[in-house]
């Protein structure tokens, strides 16, 4: 929030803010709302928190990125199991993430 408040003082316009997590994105959202500068700014976070999902539903955030913790754990387990069998470690093990937007937010909302 503080960083965005400083940016508001320095820059006349924003098109988007991409934050490292949802808490940062929500702080930016509050700063922009407080300065009446939210209109036309796309805000993106990471984690898929309930507050971010609510902000997406309300049209205040554009997206959040859902990182699949269960998928990450399974991928790590698979690598360890392979190492135990003498298989070489992969250079990388990708676990897909999901972009949560107004179009699919209801899929991720806790019911």
Read off the tokens for 63. Answer: 């997206």
Q: How confident is the model at residue 111 (pLDDT cuts 50, 70, 90)?
A: low
pLDDT above 90 for 110: no
Q: Is residue 37 part of a domain?
A: yes
Q: Is residue 6 part of a domain?
A: yes
The pLDDT value recorded for residue 58 is 97
Q: What is the dihedral of CA 18, 21, 24, 27, to 10 degrees?
A: 100
Domain count, the chain: 1
Q: Is residue 68 part of a domain?
A: yes
**Does the predicted TM-score (pTM) go above 0.85?**
no
Rounded CA separation 24/30 (Å): 10
Q: Is residue 107 part of a domain?
A: no
Q: What is the mean pLDDT of the chain?
A: 94
Q: Is residue 106 part of a domain?
A: no
Q: Is residue 69 part of a domain?
A: yes
Rounded CA separation 39/60 (Å): 9
Domain that holds residue 85: 2-101
Kindly report the backbone phi and psi dihedral angles of residue 110, in degrees, each rounded to the nearest multiple of 5, phi listed first. -70, 135
Q: Is residue 93 part of a domain?
A: yes
The pLDDT value recorded for residue 28 is 97
Tokens 């991720």 -> residue: 108
The pLDDT value recorded for residue 14 is 86
pLDDT above 60 for 3: yes
Q: Is residue 111 part of a domain?
A: no
Q: What is the pLDDT of residues 33-77, one digit of tens each?
A: 999 999 999 999 999 999 999 999 999 999 999 988 889 999 999
CATH code, domain carrying 89: 3.40.50.2300
């Amino acid at each position: 929030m503080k960083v965005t408040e400083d940016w508001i003082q320095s820059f006349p316009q924003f098109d988007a803010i991409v934050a490292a997590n949802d808490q940062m994105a929500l702080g930016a959202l509050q700063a922009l709302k407080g300065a009446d500068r939210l209109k036309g700014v796309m805000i993106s976070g990471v984690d898929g928190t309930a507050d971010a999902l609510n902000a997406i539903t309300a049209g205040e955030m554009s997206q959040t990125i859902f990182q699949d913790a269960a998928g990450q754990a399974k991928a790590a387990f698979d690598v360890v199991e392979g190492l135990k069998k003498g298989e070489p470690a992969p250079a990388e093990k990708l676990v897909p993430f999901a972009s949560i937007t107004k179009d699919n937010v209801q899929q991720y909302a806790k019911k």
